[in-house]
Every structure is written in C-alpha cells, then in structure tokens.
Amino acid sequence: MARRQLLVILVMLTGACTAEPAAPPPSSTSPLKPPTLINEVVPPQNVLTVVRDVIDGRTVELADGSRVRVSLLAPPAPCWAEASLMFARTTLLARSVRFTGLGPGEVNMELEDGTDYAVLAVTQGAMRPEGVDGGPLINAQAEASAAKRGLWGPPCNGSATSSLAPAPTTTLPPPPPPPPAPAPTTTTPPPARAGCAVSYKVTGQWQGGFQAYVTVRNTGTEATNGWTLRWNFTRGESVREMWNATARQSGATVNAVNAEYNPQIAPGASVEIGYNGNAYGSHSAPTAFALNGTQCSVE
C-alpha cells in the first residue's frame, strides 16, 4: 500500500512539472482608433424642404426646426431691415426650397423653380453681398444700384442708415439791397405747368403674387407738397405691402400716398414706389396713372 501511494505522488509531480503555463486573461481595453484629418460629417446636399419661419433677410427656420443662414449675404442694413424682412417673408415663408449645406448653419438656397435666393435678394435691392469680389452677386448689386432699387433708393440711398450728415454751417455776407421794382407791364406770365411721367416695371412673378416698382417723375415746374399716385388694376389684383408710399385700395383703384419723408418731388426729380401684390393669374402693368389728379404720360 505504501508503495502504491508513493507511485501516485511521483506521477502527480511529473505532470505538474511538464504542464504548460496558463495563458494570460484577455485585455478588456479596446485598441485606440488612429487619428484622422478627414471630416466624416458630410453636409446635406440638394435637400427639398419648407421654410417654417423667417427671422431676417438671410436667416430662416426650416421644417425640422433648424435655423440656417444663407451664405454670401451681409447682415440686413438697419435702414432697410424691415423691408428686407418683408421681402424674405414674401419670397420664402411657407414655400418649398432646396438647400445645400456648406457648414454648420450655413447654406446655399434655391427656390423651387431653381432661382438662387441670394442673387434674387441682391438684384431686388433687399440685401447686400458679403465675401465675394465678383460673379453673379456683384453683377446683381451693380444692377440694383444703377436702378436705385430697394436699399439703393430713398431713403437709404445705399447707406446703412437714413440719417444724413448735417450740412456744414457757413457765414454768408448780408444780401444786397433789392433792385428797384420793374415798371408795370401788361404781359401776364405763363401759369406754372403741372406734369408727370410714370414708368412701371414688374420685377418678379410667382404663383399667386408679383412684385413691381413704379417710378413717378415730376415733369412740371413746381415741386409737389404732398402727392397721391392713382392707377387701376384690370385682373382683380390687390396690394399686399408697399414701401416709399402708403397704399389705399378701393376695389380696382389704388392710391399710393407719399410717405412722411418724401412729400416733395422737385421739378425733374422722381420717386420710386415698390410693392408686392396678390394676383389670380399673370399680372400686366396698368396703362394709366394720375398724380394729384393730373394725368401722367407713361414711359
């Protein structure tokens, strides 16, 4: 019995010496991912959506609640901020648009018909371009400036605010004595001539609406002291909003009354009125205009 126990002990010792060491437990730490310089976040491309809200002339809220800014447009000029907001709401609010993301919160935006919104806004004088030295936006700005359209016309005249610098004060010499009164004559001077000329341009049309600019020029010899320009629509149109004048419409007749800042039109000078209108079909320009009751020629 003692001999058998001794053999068992020898066998166990031999197995312990020849057994391979146990493998170490696997590490729980995951291998680190090597760094990369590639931006793996791809901006959205050519996405069709709806504008849910308009914040200002270049910032909108999309259907998913995200706010984006249209690229290459400068912040709205304070002098024209309200009018640019009105333009953006008329053009974009509750309408389908396509956008391409350029970066966080910055997009290129097109109307559903393919019109580039930034180019349209600059062409209409609602916004200025920013960060470009040439191309369609600079050409659009040159066109709006030459036509004195939107912020390039009164009261902004291309500046950020409507306030003008005070005129320099000068000391004038005393006036000379008046000349002797002329001898009475029987010749009656001709009466002051009243006259006006109007040009009407449709600058944009879309389903259910349009935009137009009306330029009225004083061709008479006396300045106006308050004015009202009247015309008639022929296809059931109506004025939605107007700038540089106040619209008063009764039926088909529209009376555009001067704003507080432009009651006078000097001889040879002109005033541009812009407005957005509602239409049931295509809009055609009115053919007759009257300024303070005087029939105007149409240019």
pLDDT in tens, the chain (299 residues): 566 666 656 656 665 555 555 555 555 555 555 555 444 556 788 889 999 999 999 999 999 999 999 999 999 888 888 888 989 998 999 999 999 988 888 999 999 899 999 999 999 999 999 988 889 999 999 999 998 898 888 888 888 665 443 444 445 667 777 777 666 555 544 444 569 999 999 999 998 899 999 999 999 999 999 999 999 999 899 999 999 999 999 999 999 999 999 999 999 999 999 999 999 888 989 999 999 999 999 99
List the alpha helices (DSSP H) in the chain. 2-18, 81-92, 117-123, 136-146
| Max Cα-Cα span within the chain | 168
The pLDDT of residue 51 is 93
Q: Which domains does the chain have, with CATH numbers?
A: 47-152 (2.40.50.90), 196-298 (2.60.40.290)
Give me the pLDDT at residue 164, please. 41
Confidence at residue 180, expressed as pLDDT on a 0 to 100 scale: 73
Q: Which pLDDT score, from 0 to 100, does residue 3 have? A: 64
Nearest in space to 153 (alpha carbons), one of 179, 115, 184, 125: 125
Tell me the pairing of strands 196-206 and 106-111. Answer: unpaired
